[in-house]
Structure 1
Amino acid sequence: MLHIGCHLSSSKGFAAMGRQALELGADTFQFFTRNPRGSKAKDLDTADAAALVTLMEERRFAPIIAHAPYTLNLCGAEERNREFARETMADDLRRLEHVPGQYYNFHPGSHVGQGMEAGIELIAQGLNAILTPDLHTTVLLETMAGKGSEVGGRFEELRAILDRVELSDKMGVCLDTCHVSDGGYDIIHDLDGVLEEFDRCIGLDRLKAVHLNDSKNPSGSRKDRHERIGQGEIGLEALARVVRHPALRHLPFCLETPNELPGYRQEIALMREQAEL
């Protein structure tokens, strides 16, 4: 069975997102932990979080994905920016303990001219300051397109971060199909080869989730512009191979395509159909 969902608004609360996911035909979903361009989070409703946990158990959800705000940068050039990222992520992880066993995904960051090695070291330092032995959430590094000074556009960069994280058992990776294609990995013609490279470099056991997106740009463009399934440069046929791949099909897939809810419902149904072909 394909575990698939989409990005939902958290404005109505945890349990409402779970019910909305079911209405869309989903058994997982993603949400921003707070305003993706800001820092303020809603007050936590522990009863609402408990209601989601019950719903997920009853309806056999796959793990859900909490997404950190885009503004966070663990490897920013200024210490105040790095401190803001650490404090926000630590707060998110404390809140997620009320919905234990899920994933917390974040963009590794941009080294903003400090150099890739410095960026990698700062990200690892930030994670070492945040992660605790009793954490019940797995923190995911997202594969990036490699635009500008982004860290994470190559598998080797993610591996270098993981190698420096002391509590590495709390860490995993989320593979974004748009990002890896834009980053130059040929998932269209050589998905097996890309996954073999991921396994050699990071290990497929580290791969915990997939962002399933088409791309507005050709492979290697380093642009990071998502497109609806089948309407971009990756195409439906290649994305169908992703959801059918034996090394991936057990993972939760999350759509981040430029859609409203009716479009997500159609894409979820389409990819469930493709998964069974």
Structure 2
Amino acid sequence: MEAYFIGLSFVLAAILYPLFIRMLKIKNIGQYIREEGPDLHNYKTGTPTAGGILFILISVLFGVILKVPLVFLLSLSLFGLIGFMDDVASIYKKDALGLKAWQKFLLQIIFAFGLVSLESTKPIFGVEVSRTLYNIFWIFVIVGASNAVNLTDGLDGLAGWVFITAILPFGFLKQDIFAIIVAAAVLSFLLYNTRPASIFMGDTGSLALGAFLATFAMHYNAEDALVFTSTIFIVETLSVIIQVSSFKLFNKRLFKMSPIHHHFELLGWKEEKIVGIFAGINLLIALTFIVYKMW
């Protein structure tokens, strides 16, 4: 019976997204492209954004019906709320920058603390830790994962496809039907987000998906699986850290632009090629790890 909700999640989202896109266009709720991004993206200005609202609502609805752990529902809802506030601020300001960085970061820490507080203390990478260290570790991971997916959301379909290749193997490993329900809703969103995108997930979607992925790992005490199912998200984040550090320390940029997907884009790679290769690499590493764990 629970498997029925996987198909229903996909079909419901597929039916509702065209209506949602039409509504956003009528309301003139469109994306503003950041000035420091590639000039290749200027044509995307005005594309409806905050599309994550719909797959979050559908996922949470079915999660409530199935009585999944509260921490899963809150991770999607609370971090989706931060993203929504950011998207609304961006639209109101008519600028790619929404909330101030410190505002977003503070809310992420507060909400992450709330999520961690719902879980009992478990070993980290097999090592027993104090409650304080446990809290600090998972707050860092949840906030980091949320921002990692947000950083990856720079090409049509990229964040969504990488998330799919992360959460599906993870969900099968833990035999968790809700993870697959979320994946189904996101997959339906990708029908309209793959290049040329008719809608973007916005910070609403990206912050929520990253937080959910990390919270899923926390709940199942699977921080090792999180690392190997989210390789591309980690690489994207490291590319930004490396680029900024290199420029500040040596006044030299190692990449043409960061996050690293923009580097390949400026090398002349098509968006579809980058998305396909990045998602494929992430899936290969995730499946290799899953097979290893099940062996």
- TM class by smaller structure: under 0.3
More strand per residue: 1
Normalised by the length of structure 1, the TM-score is: 0.27
Normalised by the length of structure 2, the TM-score is: 0.26
More helix per residue: 2
Higher relative contact order (CA 8 A, sep 6+): 2
